[in-house]
Amino acid sequence: MGSERSGSLRRRLRRSARRLGRRIDLRRLASRREDGSPLGLRTAKTTLAAVISWELALRLPGSQPPVLAPLTALLVTQLTLVQTVTGSLQRVASVTAGVLLALGVAYLLGLHWWSVGLVIFLSLAIAQVLRLGSHRMEVPISALLVLTLGGTPGIARTRVLETLIGAGVGVVVNAVLVPPVYVRPAGEAIYELADDVARVLEGAAADLAEGWSGEDAYERLQEARELDRPAGEAREAVGQAEDSLRLNPRRRLLRDPSEEFLEAMSTLEHSVILVRGLCRSLVELDTVSGGRGPGPELRAAIRRLLGEVAGAVRTFGEQVAAASLPGPPANPAPLLRALARVRSGRDEVAKAMAGGPREEPGAWQVHGHLLANVDRLLAELDPEGQTWPGTGPPGR
């Protein structure tokens, strides 16, 4: 009796620790996403762009310090060259629209409280129409600055020129001085997603090794449902890698794994759904058995199968991550061997299901769902398999 209470207490403590771990993921706090560039390079590039912009803008006519030029360079120097170009165009459009609006209002209406309100209203409306994104507030800011400085064409022209100088210098510096490439962080993000999926499966296998618990099965289902967050982070990292290669002069010197990454993300996103189905099957086994769970032989077979599936998913992530590194393509042999072990474990589970007791007819449907999800996972992870149920392997 005492040992049962002790075992139950240990399970409750582990479940509490898992809940806390899902909220505070120290692995993600410690992870570093780098593009392989020297430390501080982006900071140095941004500083250089701001200083060059200041020096160039000093040659413009006017007595005011050319603060707008370095400020524009600071704001437009982004993580990727595409983002830098896009931000530059949006900022120039924002400033130009605000300046033109201010000149028109100053000439026609003058500077009054109601004309200031009209400028702000029209500026925000123009920003929405032009879809200026994060630079939309630059329209009313530019208009108000031009109004407060007198609303003369000379001031307006200087403000636009300062913006053009800052934007142009920001683009040139980001393009010439080691433009960033975020291929390696994308490969790491995909591996982390595969590792998260594998951890859920390994946790379920570890639970089965200690006996059956419907509460543990439900906890693992909750963990599987929360895999959407790392999947979204990995998808975002892959998108950033694609952006970093567009317009990038370093692209010709690098291997472009964008297509492999996109295919791997589709596979892992589908795998997340299927792993969720596997965990759901464990919960349903608890329901149809009245909390007793499957027999010892079937439970042991499912435990081994979940462990093998976890190994295959992690191996898949390792192979995709290897595509982000220089060198020849990854050897598919480790993944093929892992999939062979999964197939063997799947057959073992099917055999244990067929030879088990038949006093619970409702369990057969759950057994079928479990095996079907494993089969779909095999098809997803197999390099020569299908990408999603319903389409056959390529070349057949």
Paired tokens of 316: 């898949």
Q: How far apart are CA 190 and CA 197, in angstroms?
A: 11
- Matching residue, tokens 């913006």: 163
CA angle 92, 97, 102 (to 5 degrees): 130
Q: How far apart are CA 258 and CA 255, in angstroms?
A: 9
Count CB neighbours of 377 within 10 A: 27
Q: What is the pLDDT of residue 380?
A: 92
Q: How far apart are CA 3 and CA 334, in angstroms?
A: 42
Q: What's the average pLDDT block by block, 10 residues per block, for the chain (396 residues)? A: 50 54 49 51 82 88 77 76 78 85 83 84 88 81 77 77 87 79 86 95 91 87 92 90 75 72 92 94 88 87 95 93 74 90 94 73 84 93 61 40
Q: What is the pLDDT of residue 195?
A: 95
Q: What is the pLDDT of residue 184?
A: 85
**Chain mean position to CA 252:** 25
The SS3 of residue 163 is helix
Q: What is the pLDDT of residue 326?
A: 67
pTM of full prediction above 0.75: no
Q: What is the pLDDT of residue 15?
A: 52
Asked if residues 89 and 130 have their Cβ atoms less than 8 Å apart, the reply is no
Q: Name 52's Cβ contacts closer than 8 Å, sequence gap at least 6.
A: 73, 169, 173
**What sign has the CA pseudo-torsion 136, 137, 138, 142?**
positive
